């Protein structure tokens, strides 16, 4: 397949008085994450078998074979309606191998699991290249867990302990410690701390779903946690409001920070993200009807925000967007050209 080429176009939108820029690409993706391996960027995204792309310059992208040719047997046993369309992966490197966490779910229900696959290389031409599925890491259950086991992200604290954050709607974003090998969770899997929610106050209940949205999920429209360490702070990025509606999408990105990987995370006004706080990082504009499900990386000394947006010039198709991040005088992230 011929590689898709970046559209050489800079799109501006406004948040307050700040002009925000991000380059759109022709790559159609949801929920992009990225890693750089031996000079090549590898992009993983929602898709059948987990979609994979590669690029040497963040400009021209080549479609690679998916991670899975067929879904692991355990995924169908755990989620009987699952057909192999994996959601929202997360890629990280630890102890000589890449860890790819991924989501298995029934749409609109918290019949969901987070699984893990590992590989010693991301280069499909390397003779060692082989994705090994490590099975289920954690599962959510309707009527038992008030959280949804999707949208995983791993963060390591300064002591080397790894934590898995995840969640979508229901009771908000959750966190649990990972075992040293990162292939299992540690501790109670039913009562998990909330690190972010749109519900103001821990005693409040999940508001009802709005419009035609799934009733089971409720109206706590927050998902896709991603935690990034910068200097003295851990920054929790999350997406609020609604994705996946094309031209009707209202996705936005918020951010909070903490001196500890486990939180509590607060916004620029000191409001806890667990109680409805969150500093707005990026919202949609006249062309991009919704932007979100971001990841953040440092490549060659530059910080990047990777996310998807719904293109109003292309009937609301979801596309990869890449922007550089700067940090203001108070240490908060902002997008730059």
Spatial distance between the Cα atoms of 176 and 157, rounded to a whole number of angstroms: 13
Spatial distance between the Cα atoms of 317 and 104, rounded to a whole number of angstroms: 23
DSSP element (H, E) containing 243: none
**Backbone phi and psi for residue 74, each to the nearest 5 degrees, phi listed first:** -65, -30
Please tell me which residue in 151, 223, 267, 311 is annotated as part of the active site: 223
Please tell me which residue in 31, 90, 133, 267 is annotated as part of the active site: 31
Answer yes or no: is pLDDT of 137 > 70: yes
Answer yes or no: is pLDDT of 13 > 60: no
Euclidean distance between the first and final Cα of the chain, in Å? 30
pLDDT tens profile 198-209: 998 766 777 888
Q: Is 216 a catalytic residue?
A: no
Q: Residue 11: its pLDDT value, please?
A: 36
Cα 26 to Cα 5, 134, 137, 144, 319: the distances in Å are 7, 33, 33, 41, 7
Spatial distance between the Cα atoms of 191 and 140, rounded to a whole number of angstroms: 11
Residue 10 corresponds to which tokens in the numbers above?
């800079």
Q: Residue 207: its pLDDT value, please?
A: 81
Answer yes or no: is pLDDT of 186 > 50: yes
Q: Residue 61: its pLDDT value, please?
A: 95
| Beta-sheet strands, E only, within 190-313 | 194-196, 222-230, 233-240, 252-258, 279-282, 288-299, 302-311
Residues in the chain: 337
Q: Is 130 a catalytic residue?
A: no
**Is there a contact between 67 and 82 (Cβ–Cβ < 8 Å)?**
no
Higher-confidence residue of 108 and 49: namely 49
Spatial distance between the Cα atoms of 162 and 160, rounded to a whole number of angstroms: 6
Spatial distance between the Cα atoms of 69 and 117, rounded to a whole number of angstroms: 13
Hunting for tokens 């997406």 — which residue is that? Answer: 239
pLDDT tens profile 204-241: 777 888 877 788 888 999 999 999 999 999 999 999 99
pLDDT tens profile 31-72: 999 999 999 999 999 999 999 999 999 999 999 999 999 999
Which residues in 44-75 are b (16+ Cβ under 10 Å) and which e?
bbbbebbbbbbbeebbbbeebebbbeebbeeb
Hunting for tokens 């990869």 — which residue is that? Answer: 320
Q: Residue 182: its pLDDT value, please?
A: 98
């Amino acid at each position: 397949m011929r590689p898709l080429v970046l559209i050489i176009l800079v799109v501006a939108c406004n948040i307050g008085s700040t002009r925000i820029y991000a380059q759109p690409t022709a790559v159609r993706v949801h929920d992009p994450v990225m890693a750089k391996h031996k000079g090549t960027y590898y992009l993983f995204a929602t898709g059948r078998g987990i979609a994979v792309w590669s690029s040497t310059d963040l400009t021209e992208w080549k479609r690679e074979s998916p991670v899975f040719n067929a879904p692991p047997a355990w995924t169908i046993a755990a989620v009987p309606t699952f057909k192999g369309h994996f959601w929202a992966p997360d890629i990280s490197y630890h102890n000589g191998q890449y860890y790819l966490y991924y989501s298995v779910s029934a749409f609109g229900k918290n019949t969901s699991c987070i699984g893990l696959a590992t590989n010693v290389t991301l280069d499909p031409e390397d003779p060692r290249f082989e994705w090994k599925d490590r099975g289920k890491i954690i599962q959510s259950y309707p009527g038992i867990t008030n959280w949804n086991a999707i949208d995983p992200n791993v963060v390591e604290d300064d002591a080397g302990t790894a934590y898995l954050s995840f969640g979508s709607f229901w009771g908000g974003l959750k966190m649990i410690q990972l075992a040293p090998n990162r292939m299992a969770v540690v501790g109670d899997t039913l009562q998990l701390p909330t690190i972010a929610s749109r519900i103001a106050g821990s005693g409040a209940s999940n508001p009802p779903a709005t419009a035609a949205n799934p009733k089971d999920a409720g109206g706590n429209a927050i998902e896709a946690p991603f935690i990034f360490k910068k200097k003295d702070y851990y920054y929790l990025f999350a997406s609020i409001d609604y994705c996946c509606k094309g031209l009707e999408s209202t996705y936005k990105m918020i951010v909070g920070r903490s001196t500890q990987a486990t939180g509590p995370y607060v916004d620029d006004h000191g409001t806890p993200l667990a109680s409805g706080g969150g500093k707005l990082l990026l919202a949609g504009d006249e062309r991009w009807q919704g932007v979100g499900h971001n990841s953040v990386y440092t490549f060659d000394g530059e910080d990047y925000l990777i996310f998807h947006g719904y293109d109003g010039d292309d009937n609301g198709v979801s596309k990869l967007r890449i922007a550089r991040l700067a940090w203001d005088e108070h240490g908060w992230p902002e997008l730059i050209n």
